[in-house]
A and B are shown apart, each in its own frame.
Chain A
Protein backbone atom coordinates (compact mmCIF):
# COMPACT_ATOMS: atom_id res chain seq x y z
CA UNK A 1 0.00 0.00 0.00
CA UNK A 2 1.42 3.38 -1.00
CA UNK A 3 1.62 5.99 1.74
CA UNK A 4 2.84 9.55 1.89
CA UNK A 5 6.24 10.19 3.47
CA UNK A 6 8.13 13.39 4.12
CA UNK A 7 11.86 12.82 3.76
CA UNK A 8 14.12 15.55 5.12
CA UNK A 9 17.75 15.36 4.12
CA UNK A 10 20.53 17.36 5.76
CA UNK A 11 23.69 17.62 3.72
CA UNK A 12 26.88 19.51 3.15
CA UNK A 13 26.39 22.36 0.70
CA UNK A 14 28.13 20.80 -2.31
CA UNK A 15 27.79 21.30 -6.03
CA UNK A 16 25.84 18.48 -7.60
CA UNK A 17 24.52 16.97 -4.40
CA UNK A 18 20.87 17.47 -5.32
CA UNK A 19 21.40 15.54 -8.52
CA UNK A 20 23.06 12.73 -6.52
CA UNK A 21 20.03 12.58 -4.26
CA UNK A 22 17.50 12.57 -7.07
CA UNK A 23 19.51 9.80 -8.78
CA UNK A 24 18.69 7.54 -5.83
CA UNK A 25 14.99 8.07 -6.57
CA UNK A 26 15.23 7.52 -10.32
CA UNK A 27 17.41 4.42 -9.85
CA UNK A 28 14.66 2.87 -7.75
CA UNK A 29 11.82 4.17 -9.90
CA UNK A 30 10.30 6.32 -7.15
CA UNK A 31 8.48 9.45 -8.26
CA UNK A 32 9.09 12.70 -6.35
CA UNK A 33 5.83 14.51 -5.52
CA UNK A 34 7.49 17.66 -4.20
CA UNK A 35 11.03 18.86 -3.60
CA UNK A 36 12.37 21.94 -1.85
CA UNK A 37 15.95 22.77 -0.96
CA UNK A 38 17.47 25.63 1.00
CA UNK A 39 20.03 26.41 3.67
CA UNK A 40 19.03 25.01 7.06
CA UNK A 41 19.12 26.95 10.35
CA UNK A 42 22.68 25.66 10.86
CA UNK A 43 25.39 27.44 8.92
CA UNK A 44 26.75 25.47 5.99
CA UNK A 45 24.17 22.69 6.23
CA UNK A 46 21.61 22.33 3.49
CA UNK A 47 18.11 20.97 3.96
CA UNK A 48 16.13 19.16 1.28
CA UNK A 49 12.49 18.24 1.81
CA UNK A 50 11.20 15.55 -0.51
CA UNK A 51 7.69 14.14 -0.51
CA UNK A 52 6.95 10.73 -1.96
CA UNK A 53 3.99 8.37 -2.10
CA UNK A 54 5.22 4.82 -2.01
CA UNK A 55 5.43 1.50 -0.27
CA UNK A 56 6.79 1.95 3.31
CA UNK A 57 9.47 -0.74 2.93
CA UNK A 58 10.70 0.74 -0.32
CA UNK A 59 10.87 4.18 1.30
CA UNK A 60 12.83 2.80 4.27
CA UNK A 61 15.41 1.35 1.86
CA UNK A 62 15.48 4.56 -0.13
CA UNK A 63 16.24 6.55 3.02
CA UNK A 64 19.24 4.32 3.75
CA UNK A 65 20.51 4.68 0.20
CA UNK A 66 20.33 8.48 0.47
CA UNK A 67 22.07 8.47 3.82
CA UNK A 68 24.83 6.38 2.23
CA UNK A 69 25.81 9.34 0.05
CA UNK A 70 29.07 10.59 1.52
CA UNK A 71 28.05 14.25 1.74
CA UNK A 72 24.68 13.56 3.30
CA UNK A 73 24.72 14.10 7.05
CA UNK A 74 21.44 12.65 8.13
CA UNK A 75 18.07 11.69 6.70
CA UNK A 76 14.78 11.67 8.59
CA UNK A 77 11.56 10.20 7.34
CA UNK A 78 8.15 11.25 8.67
CA UNK A 79 4.51 10.48 8.12
CA UNK A 80 2.25 13.52 7.45
CA UNK A 81 0.89 13.57 11.02
CA UNK A 82 4.38 13.99 12.48
CA UNK A 83 5.01 17.29 10.71
CA UNK A 84 3.40 20.61 9.87
CA UNK A 85 3.39 20.94 6.10
CA UNK A 86 2.89 24.16 4.20
CA UNK A 87 3.18 25.31 0.65
CA UNK A 88 3.08 28.73 -0.95
CA UNK A 89 1.21 29.40 -4.19
CA UNK A 90 1.00 32.43 -6.46
CA UNK A 91 -2.02 32.90 -8.74
CA UNK A 92 -2.22 35.34 -11.64
CA UNK A 93 -5.95 35.95 -12.07
CA UNK A 94 -8.15 38.15 -14.21
CA UNK A 95 -9.61 41.09 -12.18
CA UNK A 96 -13.25 40.80 -11.26
CA UNK A 97 -15.63 41.49 -8.40
CA UNK A 98 -16.02 37.74 -7.74
CA UNK A 99 -12.28 37.32 -7.32
CA UNK A 100 -12.16 40.10 -4.76
CA UNK A 101 -14.87 38.33 -2.75
CA UNK A 102 -12.88 35.12 -2.75
CA UNK A 103 -9.79 37.01 -1.64
CA UNK A 104 -11.57 38.30 1.43
CA UNK A 105 -13.17 34.95 2.33
CA UNK A 106 -10.02 32.86 1.98
CA UNK A 107 -7.51 35.09 3.67
CA UNK A 108 -5.47 35.51 0.52
CA UNK A 109 -2.83 38.24 0.12
CA UNK A 110 -2.77 40.51 -2.89
CA UNK A 111 0.81 41.02 -4.04
CA UNK A 112 0.37 43.02 -7.20
CA UNK A 113 -2.47 44.74 -9.04
CA UNK A 114 -2.55 45.54 -12.74
CA UNK A 115 -5.25 46.88 -15.03
CA UNK A 116 -6.27 43.47 -16.21
CA UNK A 117 -4.97 41.01 -13.60
CA UNK A 118 -3.98 40.64 -9.98
CA UNK A 119 -1.36 38.41 -8.33
CA UNK A 120 -2.53 36.52 -5.26
CA UNK A 121 -0.56 34.64 -2.65
CA UNK A 122 -1.93 31.76 -0.64
CA UNK A 123 -0.06 29.72 1.97
CA UNK A 124 -1.56 26.47 3.10
CA UNK A 125 -1.91 22.76 2.55
CA UNK A 126 -1.76 21.36 -0.93
CA UNK A 127 -5.53 20.71 -0.85
CA UNK A 128 -6.34 24.30 0.13
CA UNK A 129 -4.22 25.59 -2.70
CA UNK A 130 -5.95 23.25 -5.14
CA UNK A 131 -9.36 24.22 -3.76
CA UNK A 132 -8.74 27.94 -4.24
CA UNK A 133 -7.53 27.24 -7.76
CA UNK A 134 -10.80 25.51 -8.59
CA UNK A 135 -12.78 28.45 -7.17
CA UNK A 136 -10.77 30.99 -9.16
CA UNK A 137 -10.81 28.95 -12.36
CA UNK A 138 -14.24 30.12 -13.61
CA UNK A 139 -12.98 33.75 -13.48
CA UNK A 140 -9.81 33.11 -15.44
CA UNK A 141 -6.52 31.94 -13.92
CA UNK A 142 -3.63 32.92 -16.19
CA UNK A 143 -0.96 31.20 -14.14
CA UNK A 144 -0.45 29.19 -10.96
CA UNK A 145 2.96 28.50 -9.42
CA UNK A 146 3.60 26.46 -6.26
CA UNK A 147 6.74 26.44 -4.12
CA UNK A 148 6.78 22.77 -3.21
CA UNK A 149 6.06 21.77 0.35
CA UNK A 150 8.19 22.59 3.39
CA UNK A 151 7.85 20.70 6.64
CA UNK A 152 8.69 21.27 10.27
CA UNK A 153 8.51 18.45 12.80
CA UNK A 154 6.03 18.63 15.64
CA UNK A 155 8.37 16.98 18.18
CA UNK A 156 10.28 19.33 20.50
CA UNK A 157 13.48 17.33 19.96
CA UNK A 158 16.00 18.80 17.59
CA UNK A 159 17.12 15.58 15.98
CA UNK A 160 19.82 17.10 13.79
CA UNK A 161 21.38 18.93 16.75
CA UNK A 162 21.44 15.67 18.70
CA UNK A 163 23.06 13.94 15.78
CA UNK A 164 25.67 16.66 15.32
CA UNK A 165 26.68 16.58 18.98
CA UNK A 166 27.10 12.77 18.78
CA UNK A 167 29.25 13.25 15.69
CA UNK A 168 31.37 15.83 17.50
CA UNK A 169 31.97 13.43 20.38
CA UNK A 170 33.06 10.81 17.90
CA UNK A 171 35.35 13.24 16.13
CA UNK A 172 37.11 14.08 19.41
CA UNK A 173 37.51 10.39 20.15
CA UNK A 174 38.94 9.57 16.72
CA UNK A 175 41.31 12.51 16.57
CA UNK A 176 42.61 11.77 20.07
CA UNK A 177 43.36 8.15 19.28
Chain B
Protein backbone atom coordinates (compact mmCIF):
# COMPACT_ATOMS: atom_id res chain seq x y z
CA UNK B 1 0.00 0.00 0.00
CA UNK B 2 1.21 3.51 -0.76
CA UNK B 3 0.21 6.24 1.65
CA UNK B 4 0.66 9.97 1.24
CA UNK B 5 0.28 12.11 4.35
CA UNK B 6 -0.26 15.71 3.30
CA UNK B 7 1.06 18.04 5.98
CA UNK B 8 1.76 21.67 6.71
CA UNK B 9 3.13 23.40 9.80
CA UNK B 10 -0.15 23.62 11.71
CA UNK B 11 -1.10 21.76 14.88
CA UNK B 12 -3.68 19.55 13.12
CA UNK B 13 -0.83 18.11 11.01
CA UNK B 14 1.09 17.35 14.19
CA UNK B 15 -2.01 15.69 15.61
CA UNK B 16 -2.50 13.24 12.73
CA UNK B 17 1.06 11.98 12.69
CA UNK B 18 0.61 9.36 15.39
CA UNK B 19 -2.25 7.88 13.41
CA UNK B 20 -0.36 8.08 10.12
CA UNK B 21 2.72 6.48 11.63
CA UNK B 22 0.73 3.67 13.26
CA UNK B 23 -1.20 2.92 10.07
CA UNK B 24 1.94 2.98 7.93
CA UNK B 25 3.88 0.78 10.34
CA UNK B 26 1.10 -1.79 10.68
CA UNK B 27 0.43 -2.00 6.97
CA UNK B 28 4.11 -1.89 6.00
CA UNK B 29 3.28 0.83 3.52
CA UNK B 30 5.47 2.99 1.37
CA UNK B 31 5.03 6.35 3.03
CA UNK B 32 5.40 9.86 1.65
CA UNK B 33 5.28 12.92 3.87
CA UNK B 34 4.07 15.56 1.45
CA UNK B 35 4.69 19.01 2.90
CA UNK B 36 3.05 21.98 1.26
CA UNK B 37 4.17 25.60 1.40
CA UNK B 38 2.97 28.65 -0.47
CA UNK B 39 6.27 29.79 -1.98
CA UNK B 40 8.11 27.80 -4.61
CA UNK B 41 11.53 29.41 -4.64
CA UNK B 42 13.05 28.17 -1.37
CA UNK B 43 12.10 25.79 1.43
CA UNK B 44 10.64 27.52 4.47
CA UNK B 45 12.58 26.92 7.68
CA UNK B 46 9.51 26.33 9.90
CA UNK B 47 8.32 23.66 7.44
CA UNK B 48 11.63 21.82 7.77
CA UNK B 49 11.29 21.89 11.55
CA UNK B 50 7.78 20.48 11.31
CA UNK B 51 8.86 17.72 8.90
CA UNK B 52 11.64 16.67 11.26
CA UNK B 53 9.05 16.26 14.04
CA UNK B 54 6.76 14.24 11.75
CA UNK B 55 9.64 12.08 10.54
CA UNK B 56 10.66 11.35 14.12
CA UNK B 57 7.10 10.26 14.94
CA UNK B 58 7.17 7.84 11.99
CA UNK B 59 10.41 6.29 13.19
CA UNK B 60 9.13 5.97 16.75
CA UNK B 61 6.32 3.72 15.48
CA UNK B 62 8.29 1.31 13.36
CA UNK B 63 9.49 -0.62 16.42
CA UNK B 64 12.97 -1.29 15.05
CA UNK B 65 11.42 -3.46 12.37
CA UNK B 66 13.76 -2.07 9.74
CA UNK B 67 10.79 -0.78 7.84
CA UNK B 68 12.19 2.58 6.78
CA UNK B 69 15.70 3.97 6.43
CA UNK B 70 16.38 7.40 7.88
CA UNK B 71 16.34 10.47 5.65
CA UNK B 72 18.09 13.74 6.34
CA UNK B 73 16.60 17.09 5.41
CA UNK B 74 20.04 18.24 4.26
CA UNK B 75 19.73 15.75 1.39
CA UNK B 76 16.58 17.32 -0.06
CA UNK B 77 17.07 17.87 -3.79
CA UNK B 78 15.04 20.12 -6.03
CA UNK B 79 13.63 17.74 -8.63
CA UNK B 80 11.47 20.33 -10.41
CA UNK B 81 10.61 23.98 -9.93
CA UNK B 82 9.14 24.25 -6.43
CA UNK B 83 9.43 20.51 -5.68
CA UNK B 84 12.06 19.00 -3.39
CA UNK B 85 12.45 15.35 -2.47
CA UNK B 86 14.52 12.98 -0.40
CA UNK B 87 13.80 9.23 -0.32
CA UNK B 88 15.22 6.13 1.26
CA UNK B 89 14.37 2.46 1.15
CA UNK B 90 14.84 -0.22 3.77
CA UNK B 91 12.07 -2.79 3.61
CA UNK B 92 9.75 -0.02 2.38
CA UNK B 93 10.19 3.38 0.82
CA UNK B 94 10.05 6.49 2.95
CA UNK B 95 9.99 9.86 1.19
CA UNK B 96 9.76 13.48 2.14
CA UNK B 97 8.45 15.71 -0.63
CA UNK B 98 8.03 19.46 -0.36
CA UNK B 99 5.91 21.21 -2.92
CA UNK B 100 5.34 24.95 -3.19
CA UNK B 101 2.24 26.49 -4.71
CA UNK B 102 -1.50 25.92 -4.72
CA UNK B 103 -2.14 23.24 -2.09
CA UNK B 104 -4.95 21.44 -3.89
CA UNK B 105 -3.09 21.29 -7.19
CA UNK B 106 0.18 20.19 -5.60
CA UNK B 107 -1.39 17.45 -3.47
CA UNK B 108 -3.34 16.02 -6.39
CA UNK B 109 -0.26 16.15 -8.62
CA UNK B 110 1.77 14.15 -6.09
CA UNK B 111 -1.04 11.64 -5.62
CA UNK B 112 -1.11 11.06 -9.37
CA UNK B 113 2.67 10.88 -9.65
CA UNK B 114 2.97 8.30 -6.86
CA UNK B 115 -0.14 6.34 -7.79
CA UNK B 116 -1.09 6.40 -4.12
CA UNK B 117 -3.70 4.15 -2.54
CA UNK B 118 -4.55 6.49 0.31
CA UNK B 119 -4.15 10.18 1.10
CA UNK B 120 -4.38 11.29 4.71
CA UNK B 121 -4.70 14.85 5.91
CA UNK B 122 -5.91 16.72 8.97
CA UNK B 123 -7.68 20.05 9.21
CA UNK B 124 -9.17 22.50 11.69
CA UNK B 125 -12.16 21.23 13.62
CA UNK B 126 -14.74 23.77 12.40
CA UNK B 127 -17.20 23.46 9.55
CA UNK B 128 -14.90 25.15 7.06
CA UNK B 129 -11.99 22.71 7.65
CA UNK B 130 -9.17 25.15 7.02
CA UNK B 131 -5.92 23.72 5.72
CA UNK B 132 -2.89 25.92 5.14
CA UNK B 133 -5.14 28.96 5.25
CA UNK B 134 -7.56 27.60 2.67
CA UNK B 135 -11.13 26.73 3.61
CA UNK B 136 -12.63 23.44 2.42
CA UNK B 137 -9.33 22.12 1.08
CA UNK B 138 -9.74 18.61 2.56
CA UNK B 139 -13.19 18.49 0.98
CA UNK B 140 -11.72 19.36 -2.41
CA UNK B 141 -9.00 16.72 -2.11
CA UNK B 142 -11.56 14.13 -1.03
CA UNK B 143 -13.75 15.06 -3.98
CA UNK B 144 -11.04 15.13 -6.63
CA UNK B 145 -8.45 12.51 -5.66
CA UNK B 146 -8.52 9.27 -7.67
CA UNK B 147 -7.84 7.15 -4.57
CA UNK B 148 -9.26 6.79 -1.07
CA UNK B 149 -8.89 9.83 1.19
CA UNK B 150 -8.88 9.93 4.98
CA UNK B 151 -9.58 13.30 6.58
CA UNK B 152 -8.78 13.30 10.28
CA UNK B 153 -10.42 15.97 12.42
CA UNK B 154 -9.84 14.15 15.67
CA UNK B 155 -6.89 11.87 16.26
CA UNK B 156 -8.94 9.74 18.65
CA UNK B 157 -8.72 6.06 17.75
CA UNK B 158 -12.14 5.07 16.39
CA UNK B 159 -14.00 2.27 18.18
CA UNK B 160 -16.27 1.82 15.23
CA UNK B 161 -16.23 2.39 11.50
CA UNK B 162 -19.62 3.42 10.18
CA UNK B 163 -19.68 2.84 6.42
CA UNK B 164 -22.49 4.33 4.35
CA UNK B 165 -23.63 2.59 1.20
CA UNK B 166 -26.28 3.82 -1.20
CA UNK B 167 -25.10 2.39 -4.49
CA UNK B 168 -23.51 -0.79 -5.77
CA UNK B 169 -20.22 0.54 -7.07
CA UNK B 170 -17.98 -1.08 -4.45
CA UNK B 171 -14.41 -1.76 -5.51
CA UNK B 172 -12.26 -4.58 -4.19
CA UNK B 173 -9.73 -1.93 -3.13
CA UNK B 174 -12.32 -0.19 -0.97
CA UNK B 175 -13.28 -3.45 0.77
CA UNK B 176 -9.62 -4.06 1.47
CA UNK B 177 -9.12 -0.53 2.77
CA UNK B 178 -11.92 -1.11 5.28
CA UNK B 179 -10.28 -4.40 6.30
CA UNK B 180 -7.07 -2.58 7.13
CA UNK B 181 -8.84 0.21 9.01
CA UNK B 182 -10.81 -2.27 11.09
CA UNK B 183 -7.65 -4.26 11.82
CA UNK B 184 -5.41 -1.31 12.68
CA UNK B 185 -8.03 0.32 14.89
CA UNK B 186 -9.35 -2.94 16.29
CA UNK B 187 -12.72 -1.39 15.53
CA UNK B 188 -16.20 -2.71 14.86
CA UNK B 189 -17.87 -2.20 11.50
CA UNK B 190 -21.38 -0.97 10.83
CA UNK B 191 -22.67 -0.88 7.25
CA UNK B 192 -25.45 1.64 6.82
CA UNK B 193 -27.86 1.47 3.94
CA UNK B 194 -30.09 4.38 2.98
CA UNK B 195 -33.81 4.07 2.79
CA UNK B 196 -35.98 6.49 0.85
CA UNK B 197 -39.79 6.67 1.31
CA UNK B 198 -39.94 4.20 -1.58
CA UNK B 199 -37.70 1.77 0.33
CA UNK B 200 -34.16 0.52 -0.32
CA UNK B 201 -33.01 0.00 -3.87
CA UNK B 202 -33.05 -3.76 -4.41
CA UNK B 203 -29.54 -3.93 -5.80
CA UNK B 204 -28.21 -1.87 -2.86
CA UNK B 205 -29.83 -4.21 -0.37
CA UNK B 206 -28.28 -7.16 -2.20
CA UNK B 207 -24.88 -5.44 -2.17
CA UNK B 208 -25.17 -4.77 1.57
CA UNK B 209 -25.79 -8.44 2.21
CA UNK B 210 -22.86 -9.38 -0.04
CA UNK B 211 -20.56 -7.00 1.84
CA UNK B 212 -21.77 -8.30 5.19
CA UNK B 213 -21.04 -11.84 4.03
CA UNK B 214 -17.59 -10.76 2.80
CA UNK B 215 -16.66 -9.36 6.22
CA UNK B 216 -18.25 -12.13 8.24
CA UNK B 217 -16.28 -14.70 6.25
CA UNK B 218 -13.18 -12.80 7.28
CA UNK B 219 -14.17 -12.85 10.93
CA UNK B 220 -14.86 -9.13 11.03
CA UNK B 221 -17.76 -8.38 13.32
CA UNK B 222 -19.91 -6.35 10.95
CA UNK B 223 -23.61 -5.58 11.09
CA UNK B 224 -26.00 -3.68 8.87
CA UNK B 225 -28.52 -0.94 9.54
CA UNK B 226 -31.00 0.96 7.40
CA UNK B 227 -31.46 4.69 7.89
CA UNK B 228 -34.13 6.97 6.44
CA UNK B 229 -32.57 9.54 4.16
CA UNK B 230 -34.48 12.29 5.94
CA UNK B 231 -32.71 11.38 9.19
CA UNK B 232 -29.34 11.08 7.55
CA UNK B 233 -27.71 14.29 8.78
CA UNK B 234 -28.66 13.52 12.35
CA UNK B 235 -27.40 9.95 11.94
CA UNK B 236 -24.09 11.13 10.50
CA UNK B 237 -23.63 13.48 13.46
CA UNK B 238 -24.36 10.62 15.84
CA UNK B 239 -22.03 8.27 13.96
CA UNK B 240 -19.11 10.65 14.14
CA UNK B 241 -19.37 10.51 17.90
CA UNK B 242 -19.04 6.73 17.64
CA UNK B 243 -16.04 6.63 15.35
CA UNK B 244 -14.85 6.96 11.80
CA UNK B 245 -17.35 7.61 9.04
CA UNK B 246 -16.65 5.88 5.73
CA UNK B 247 -18.41 6.34 2.46
CA UNK B 248 -18.29 4.27 -0.66
CA UNK B 249 -18.14 6.76 -3.48
CA UNK B 250 -19.81 6.04 -6.75
CA UNK B 251 -21.35 7.85 -9.64
CA UNK B 252 -24.79 6.63 -8.68
CA UNK B 253 -24.62 7.92 -5.13
CA UNK B 254 -27.94 9.48 -4.19
CA UNK B 255 -26.29 10.99 -1.15
CA UNK B 256 -24.80 13.73 -3.28
CA UNK B 257 -28.30 14.67 -4.37
CA UNK B 258 -29.57 14.81 -0.81
CA UNK B 259 -27.03 17.35 0.34
CA UNK B 260 -27.36 20.68 -1.39
CA UNK B 261 -23.72 21.67 -1.00
CA UNK B 262 -22.39 18.29 -1.93
CA UNK B 263 -22.10 15.15 0.07
CA UNK B 264 -18.39 15.06 0.69
CA UNK B 265 -18.21 18.68 1.75
CA UNK B 266 -21.13 18.20 4.12
CA UNK B 267 -19.81 14.98 5.61
CA UNK B 268 -16.37 16.36 6.27
CA UNK B 269 -17.69 19.67 7.56
CA UNK B 270 -20.12 18.06 9.98
CA UNK B 271 -17.99 15.26 11.28
CA UNK B 272 -16.22 15.58 14.59
CA UNK B 273 -13.88 12.64 14.04
CA UNK B 274 -12.59 11.24 10.76
CA UNK B 275 -14.05 10.64 7.33
CA UNK B 276 -12.81 8.00 4.94
CA UNK B 277 -13.86 8.32 1.31
CA UNK B 278 -13.49 4.96 -0.37
CA UNK B 279 -12.68 4.47 -4.02
- Indicate whether A and B interact: no
What is the interface of chain B, defined by CB distance below 8 A to chain A? none
What is the interface of chain A, defined by CB distance below 8 A to chain B? none
